[in-house]
Amino acid sequence: MPLVSMRQLLDEAAKGGYGVGAFNVNNMEQIQSIMEAARETESPVIVQASRGARSYSQDRFLWHLMVAATELYPEIPTVLHLDHGNSPATCKSAIDLGFTSVMMDGSLMEDGKTPSSYEHNVKVTREVVAAAHAKGVTVEAEIGCLGGIEDGHGAGGSGMEHLTDPAQAEQFVKDTNCDALAIAIGTSHGAYKFTRKPDGEVLKMDVLIEIHKRLPTTHLVMHGSSSVPKELQDIINQYGGKLKQTWGVPVEEIQLGIKNGVRKINVDTDNRLAITGAIRKVFFETPEKFDPRDYLKPAREAMKKVVAERMVQFGQAGRAKEIKPIPMAEMAEMYKKQLVNA
């Protein structure tokens, strides 16, 4: 099965009332972990790469690894998505490479750090929507800014500084015709999201629910949605790591989000923690080992376990077979004829 459009997956998820995890990758082992988890749970899947990941993998390696994934896992509807594109040029280069979905994060300026104006966000998002839809490619946009920094990208801070304004979100979707909308509700990228189990003071599910009321057919995206499980923190610390205790987004809050229009859930940190814990354990317990396969295999297995667990929790498990891929050219035609709802 060739790579499919993210819009198709999210439309299916909306019909079925479930969410789809979007997992970040930089290398072969992470792609293998995700595809194995998808096969085991029969899930459609979104694989995403940031600018940092594209530069780490030199683009072409990433592309060919993804082609291999579609050849080896033909039964899995798979999206290749650009995470946090910082400019129309970055998004267009991903589209040219073959990504079937891009995020234009115009909530920040091109430096990926400075919060932008509404007008800037609308302008760059519209430009990407025009270029992407002409090729059937999906566009995720962002309004409001997340906290934290990931791969050098992010507004920093706790995540409470630039929450999404629901009225502005409503206007933004009208102004841009984006396919999916990332919103800021107090989450941030990375491991250090919350200093205690989050409640409504710091994780603004009420804002999410209000946005969904105003935009009932828009696919909402939750970024910074790793749960940062204590067990994964403990494994790292047990084998010589030094993580400070921290809290992520509880899975039950994500499930509440899914009941309220969230269709895409971004997870990176949980997988990083799982990989690092598994590698540390091998190094700690068998310091005489030096074959990379001795630690990359358990790392791959640990990430697969986390991804499979999330696929079940988000509800995408068992849904792969329901999706009959729409060719990208047909998606382009559907956008042209305005058959894809805003």
Can you tell me the distance from the alpha carbon of 208 to that of 266, in angstroms, rounded to the nearest whole number? 16
Which tokens go with 158?
Answer: 């706790």
Can you tell me the distance from the alpha carbon of 297 to that of 278, in angstroms, rounded to the nearest whole number? 9
CB of 288 to ligand 13P, least distance (A): 33
CB of 147 to ligand 13P, least distance (A): 11
Contact set with ligand 13P (CB under 6 A): 24, 83-84, 150, 189-190, 223-226, 266-269
In this complex, which beta carbon is closest to ligand 13P, that of residue 211 or of residue 228? 228
Which residues does the annotation mark as catalytic? 83
Can you tell me the distance from the alpha carbon of 174 to that of 183, in angstroms, rounded to the nearest whole number? 15
Can you tell me the distance from the alpha carbon of 269 to that of 224, in angstroms, rounded to the nearest whole number? 8
CB of 48 to ligand 13P, least distance (A): 7
Nearest 5°: phi and psi at 248? -110, -155
Can you tell me the distance from the alpha carbon of 268 to that of 247, in angstroms, rounded to the nearest whole number? 15
In this complex, which beta carbon is closest to ligand 13P, that of residue 229 or of residue 335? 229
CB of 247 to ligand 13P, least distance (A): 11
Question: CB neighbours (10 Å) of residue 242?
Answer: 6
Which tokens go with 139?
Answer: 């566009």
Task: Point out which residues pair with 219 in neighbouring strands.
Answer: 180
